[in-house]
Chains A and B, each alone.
Chain A
Amino acid sequence: MALLEVQGLRAGYGPVPVLHGVDLAIDEGSNAVLLGLNGAGKSTTLMTLAGLLPATGGTIHYDGQPLTGTPRARVRAGIVLVPEGRHVFPALTVKQNLRLGAWTIRRDTRRVRSNLQEVYQIFPRLEERADQTAGTLSGGEQQMLAIGRGMMSSPRLLLIDEASLGLSPKLTEQVFAAVKLINERGTTVLMVEQNAGVLAQADTAFVMQQGRVTITGTGSQTLEDDVVRAAYFGT
């Protein structure tokens, strides 16, 4: 059974519909990618899954149960969003940002401490900058912090919105490698990307166009798809 099963999901902003029936199925442990161009509805999908936008139709099942509730309830259930544009707390230190990532499990100090060690292992740069305010970090470091903060509550499903946005190809590669590592350590990942390069490491891929998922397959199949090649590689 899939960890996350989305059927016919509809959502939008006020009277403007953006999602016109999105279908997704993501197995536990998989490294999934949702690929699409600007305005396809990728971020809207993630925000609806995280509870930041209400669904206007369709169903979401998580771990076999219908998914409803506030953003906080979903974080507790293990669904954590790493939002587009990083959204770190600029005037707090790196360490304080990470501490707040563990907000929902803050009373379990042992787990908070071991999660912090794990984040520092994956992103050693964050440990070097632990006492620096997040606003003074470079774009790549802020992205690492946003992902690290997402990992602090031991999520089962990490939703990462356009981690490569505004990063150099080299940094993008580093961030993708870190996400791959996080996935290999047991967290199910759904990455939203415009950068089709990420398909190489994905075991499941969905391509979105105009509020619908139009292509579903494995990462390598999708990478060979003519439509995808034309839209993302111009070949």
Chain B
Amino acid sequence: MGAFLALGLFQGAVYGLLAVGIVLVYKAKRVFNFAQGEFGGVAAFTAYAIVVGTGLPYWAGVLGGLAAAVATGLIVERAIVRPLESSSRTIMLVALVGVALFTIAIIVLVGQPIPRVMPPLVDGGGVNILGAGILPQQLILMAVLAVLAAAMAWFFKTDLGLAVLASSQDTRAAQVVGISPIAVSRLVWGMAALLGGIAGLLYAPVGIFTPGFMTLTMLVPAFAAAVLGGMTSLPGAFIGGLAIGVVQNLGIYYLGQQLKVPGAAELGVFALLMLVLLIRPQGLLGGAN
């Protein structure tokens, strides 16, 4: 059981990292960003092409991957989000689903739909934690998530972070004090894409990866994590991610292995989500903000 707990925590860290990006966009723009996963996809495939394709050093792949993710975020902001700014949130949501599918299609076209193995940032065998073999890559992931969640919480205390919050609360008032709505929009999407890119780069080397891997396996649990945490709370997204990861794996252990219930991982997640939302409809750490 310890092994399932440990695996859950590390898987949950990826959910948490994606969820932090989702919450950032939601907090600032009241938009559900279904393209968040594919910022990671773009980063992973770009880094793979650089490291495995050209043989350049790993750091070049990381930088290239993150740059590609941020560029994608800025293009999405300019080409899709800004023109739809005044349309309904439903239209925006569908458009962002479209962005995710379109991005996957491009990756399939350019990179072929074959599974790939990304070399990890740090080599070496698994470390035994509670009976589970945890890769060094997963330990790094966990540390990065903690640092990023703290950094984001700090960001919203700075003038720049306050300006982002202010724009989301009252765009007209933000303009009146001299905050440019376009600059805020670019900043938010650039940061969200960077967070997504980091998630993709850290998660890709954990197993094999294929086009769309972030959206197909990570995005829905990440959304559940964001909702669980309260949708507007960055620490909430972090904790929500870990909780989802752990419950998924404990579900597999108790319901799946012991009681032979099919779909045990999903069942566990939705039971948790419903339970939390019944008791606290605003999520674990959600508030007025």
Contact = CB atoms under 8 A, between A and B. Distances in A.
Interface string A45-67: 00000101000000000000000
Nearest to A91: B289
A97 B37 CA distance: 34
Q: Which of B166, B174, B176, B179 has the most CB of A within 10 A?
A: B176
Interface string A80-106: 111100011111100010011101101
Contacts of B166: 89, 92, 100
Nearest to B178: A75
A72 B165 CA distance: 18
Interface string A137-157: 000000000000110110000
Contact of B177 (A90, A103, A135): A103
A29 interface: no
A194 B162 CA distance: 34
Contacts of A91: 165, 169, 288-289
Q: Which of B166, B177, B180, B289 has the most CB of A within 10 A?
A: B177
Contacts of B178: 71-72, 75-76, 103-104, 153
Contacts, number: 71
Contacts of A201: none
Contacts of A87: 170, 172-173, 176
Contact of B162 (A76, A96, A104, A150): A96
Nearest to A152: B177
B149 interface: no
Given A72-B179, A80-B176, A103 B170 contact: no
Given A89-B170, A90-B169, A91-B288, A99 B159 contact: yes
B163 A92 contact: no
A30 to B, nearest CB: 22
B177 A83 contact: no
B112 interface: no
Contact of B179 (A76, A82, A90, A100): A100
Contacts of A50: 176
Q: Interface size for chain A: under 10, 10 to 19, 20 to 34, or 35 or more residues?
A: 20 to 34
B128 interface: no
Contacts of A81: 176
Contacts of B257: none
B119 to A, nearest CB: 43
B175 interface: yes
Contacts of A104: 177-178
Contact of A103 (B169, B172, B179, B289): B179
Contact of A90 (B170, B174, B176, B180): B170
A89 B174 CA distance: 8
A149 B176 CA distance: 10
A103 B172 CA distance: 15
Contacts of B173: 83, 87-89
A83 B180 contact: no
B172 A52 contact: yes
Contact of A153 (B169, B175, B177, B289): B177
Interface in B172-194: 172-180
Contacts of A195: none
A103 B163 contact: yes
A104 to B, nearest CB: 4
A106 B178 CA distance: 11
B236 to A, nearest CB: 16
A133 interface: yes
Contacts of B289: 91
A70 B177 CA distance: 12
A106 B159 contact: yes
A83 B179 contact: no
A70 B172 contact: no
Nearest to B166: A89
Given A100-B162, A100-B163, A103-B159, A71 B169 contact: no
A71 B175 contact: yes
Contacts of A80: 176-177
A71 B159 contact: no
A80 B177 CA distance: 7
A70 B179 CA distance: 10
Contacts of A90: 169-170
Contacts of A103: 159, 163, 177-179
Given A76-B178, A87-B172, 8 more contacts: A50-B176, A70-B180, A80-B176, A81-B176, A87-B176, A90-B169, A103-B163, A153-B178
13 contacts: A52-B172, A71-B175, A72-B175, A88-B173, A89-B173, A91-B165, A91-B289, A92-B162, A92-B166, A99-B162, A100-B159, A104-B177, A106-B159
* 4 tightest Cβ-Cβ pairs between the two chains A and B: A75-B178, A87-B173, A104-B178, A72-B178
